Amino acid sequence: MTAFVRNVWYMAAWADEIAGEALFSRTLLGKPWLIWRKADGTYAMIADRCPHRFVPLSMGKRVGDTVQCRYHGLGFDGTGACVHSPFPGDPPAHVSAPAMPIVEKHRGLWFWPGDPALANSAKIPDFSFLDEDRGMRCGHLTIEGNYELITDNLMDLTHAEFLHVESFGVNGSIFHGEQTVRHDEDGAIWNNWDMTAVEPPEWSKAMLQPGDKVDQWLHMRWHAPAAMALTVGLARAGTQRASLILPPMINPHIITPETATSSHYFYDHEDNDAAAEMARQVFVDEDEPMIEAAQRALGAQDFWDARPAILKTDAGAIRARRALMQLRSAEAAVAA
């Protein structure tokens, strides 16, 4: 299995998943991690595995900003250092749990599994649209598929014409669209679809007159390892996008490996039950079974060893895969 890229920010959770003083456990990059919010509002992230007899520290309890193991009472701070022993004398200096830098930004908690000296929160991809009060509800689900299979899914939205016909009511307009792929200096890769004077999608027809045509755009932005944002725009045809049918919508699609063959998916939707049901239908009923079927078909085989057929429409997805391969080989070269 391919190694995970280390020197990059990954999203661990939405900040509001960690309630109050809770000890929050989640498997990330193949290992269980423990996250908690400290009294000053910053976060700590250490291995959810006591270095003494390996039980999850999340079975223990908070003591101020530290966590105490439920088995023999050792206490650990947010750096993973053992700072408390129930016996007289100093806590054992040779005992510690691995820790990672973790910061809150754009409503998410981001961790850095690489060299802590290189962790610079300014490098977290720009999801500042999440900071605005847009009346959105954040969601999380897990998918039994490698995270790059989910990048393939999101960076190639032509699948919507087949997989999301029921939910989105798309109608073939992407086949009349123009695809452009762009690589920005900050490492962002864009896979953009721009459709001119096409039949409007079913969901927008109530806002239009019969026979109206629209310009529609679907712009997907990717940052390593798999942090994506999709902008969807819809305007009356022939207005150079000046006459918007509704303001462009932008949503996060942020993927973090749970293991090599399963992934966390962080998304959002409008804060109402109908939108929650729509998101469930799209992600759980439609995308998830397809990604999981691809993972089952691939099994332990490497993606490239399986010799995937590459289509022109895969251009953005393949660029993202190549960018990750370059990051991986650069890290392997430094390690060697």
| Site for Fe ion, rule CB under 5 A | 287
3-class DSSP state of 61: strand
Strands across the sheet containing 82-84: 61-63, 66-68, 75-76, 82-84
| 215 vs 286 by CB, closer to Fe ion | 286
Q: Does 72 bind ligand FES (CB under 6 A)?
A: yes
Nearest-approach distance from CB 104 to ligand FES, in angstroms: 28
Q: Does 94 bind ligand FES (CB under 6 A)?
A: no
CA distance 148 to 209: 41
Among 8, 44, 67, 69, binds ligand FES (CB under 6 A): 69
| 55 vs 315 by CB, closer to ligand FES | 55
Binder of residue 320, out of Fe ion, ligand FES, none (CB less than 5 to 8 A by kind): none
Among 5, 11, 18, 74, binds ligand FES (CB under 6 A): 74
| Contact (CB, 8 A) for 97 and 49 | yes
| 52 vs 241 by CB, closer to ligand FES | 52
Q: Does 31 bind ligand FES (CB under 6 A)?
A: no
| 66 vs 256 by CB, closer to Fe ion | 256
- Interacting span for ligand FES (CB under 6 A) from 50-58, 97-105, 196-204, 274-282: 50-58
Nearest-approach distance from CB 56 to ligand FES, in angstroms: 9
CA distance 41 to 122: 19
CA distance 58 to 48: 6
Q: Does 53 bind ligand FES (CB under 6 A)?
A: yes
CA distance 20 to 251: 27
Binder of residue 72, out of ligand FES, Fe ion, none (CB less than 5 to 8 A by kind): ligand FES
Binder of residue 287, out of Fe ion, ligand FES, none (CB less than 5 to 8 A by kind): Fe ion
DSSP 52: T
Q: Does 47 bind ligand FES (CB under 6 A)?
A: no
| Contact (CB, 8 A) for 200 and 211 | no
With tokens 């997907």, the residue in question is 220
- Residue 61: how many CA atoms within 13 Å on its side-chain side? 5
Assigned token pair, 99: 């820790």
| 127 vs 283 by CB, closer to Fe ion | 283
Nearest-approach distance from CB 34 to ligand FES, in angstroms: 12
Nearest-approach distance from CB 64 to ligand FES, in angstroms: 18
Among 13, 18, 47, 50, binds ligand FES (CB under 6 A): 50
Contacts of 267 (CB under 8 A, 6+ apart): 138, 139, 140, 141, 251, 252, 253, 254, 279, 283
Nearest-approach distance from CB 231 to Fe ion, in angstroms: 16
Instruction: Report the phi/psi class of residue 326: left, alpha or beta, with left for phi > 0 and alpha for psi in -120 to 50.
Output: alpha
CA distance 212 to 171: 14
Binder of residue 53, out of ligand FES, Fe ion, none (CB less than 5 to 8 A by kind): ligand FES
Residues that bind ligand FES (CB under 6 A): 50, 52-53, 55, 69, 71-72, 74
